[in-house]
Amino acid sequence: MAMITPCILVCALDSQSGICVGCGRTGDEIGSWTSMTEAERHALMEMLPARLQMLGPVDPPQQENARPC
């Protein structure tokens, strides 16, 4: 079974919050994603929509600078 991920290949951390403007995770969360349990990943994913809404509209990074989280 493939690991779930919120990554949408728009990877750039907001300079003020440290939250990825594409998926809503922090850099630390992105880095530890593969070591989290499935339950931890699901719990975190439930928080991501609120985080992204908190960021408000952002200009996505240029496609050539984007990389998968």
Residue 16 maps to a domain: yes
Question: Would residue 3 count as lying in a domain?
Answer: no
pLDDT, tens digit (0-9, with 9 covering 90-100), for 25-61: 999 999 999 999 999 999 999 999 999 998 887 665 5
* Domain, as residue range, for 42: 11-55
Q: CB-based burial of residue 69 (10 Å sphere; 0-12 exposed, 13-18 middle, 19+ buried)? A: buried
**Confidence check: pLDDT of 63 > 80:** no
CB burial string 16-54: b at 16+ within 10 A, e below: eeebbbbbbbbeebbeebeeeeeeebeebeeebeebbee
Q: Is residue 69 part of a domain?
A: no
Give the CA radius of gyration of the chain: 12
Name the pTM for this structure. 0.78
